[in-house]
A and B are shown apart, each in its own frame.
Chain A
Amino acid sequence: MTVNTLFFGIVMDITGERKISFDLQKEITIREFQEYLLKKYPGLTDIKIFAFAVNESYVKEDHQLQENDVVAVIPPVSGG
């Protein structure tokens, strides 16, 4: 399953990437995807909280990812 992932703010600095496609072995939830990312990018554990958006809407941890979803990893926002 391919998941297109977008990184922003400090997450982009930590991963050194803006956009990556991950090929996952099976269908997973956001919670599992987060664990996957933390293993791949240990630096992310420094950030206490981040949110996830799928196809431009916030989702909860138990959200099931689908083929070709666009997942955004969203560190604490600071607009305004």
Chain B
Amino acid sequence: MNNRISVILTQEKLDQQKCYDFVQDASCGGIVTFAGTVRDHTGGKEVKQLEFTAYASMAVKELTKIAEQALKKFDILKIAIHHAEGLLQVGDVPVVIAVSSAHRKAAFEACEYAIDALKESVPIWKKEFFEDGEVWVNAHP
């Protein structure tokens, strides 16, 4: 695998520092990180917890493609995209993205590109649990 890319899909709790440390480099003037967090409400309803399931083997491939595209499109040095699977509680972190670059603009753009692309194409699904039931997010667009 490309040594400028770190892609992880895990049942474990994500370690944000690990993403940061992976992209950190003396040649870079900035690191942009994005942490997705479990929100306690959606559409006015209280969310109790979320469950993430994935088509793991394909999800890792798609995440890697996104990281490769980010390296191509933007003048960045390294990118880490880590995503969690399983049951997460309010405040937990299902996704962390870190990008380093010599100049900050490229890192901001690449980070936004990566999270947008992830939400678009990576085969991972989120189920929201409410007091009165549960629902697959986006299942009925």
| Interface flags, B52-63, vs A, CB<8A=1, else 0 | 111101110100
Main secondary structure of the interface of B (DSSP, over half): mixed
Within 8 A of A (CB), among B37-76: 52-55, 57-59, 61
Contact B119 A79 (CB under 8 A): yes
Within 8 A of B (CB), among A8-42: 8-10, 13
Selected from A10, A48, A77, the residue in CB contact (under 8 A) with B124 is: A77
Contact B136 A77 (CB under 8 A): no
Contact B115 A80 (CB under 8 A): yes
| Interface flags, A48-67, vs B, CB<8A=1, else 0 | 11000100111000000000
Range class of the A interface residue count: 20 to 34
Residues of B within 8 A of A74 (CB): 55, 123
Residues of A within 8 A of B118 (CB): 79-80
Contact A9 B58 (CB under 8 A): no
Which A residues lie at the B interface, using CB under 8 A? 6, 8-10, 13, 46-49, 53, 56-58, 72, 74-80
Which B residues lie at the A interface, using CB under 8 A? 36, 52-55, 57-59, 61, 83, 94-95, 115, 118-127, 136-141
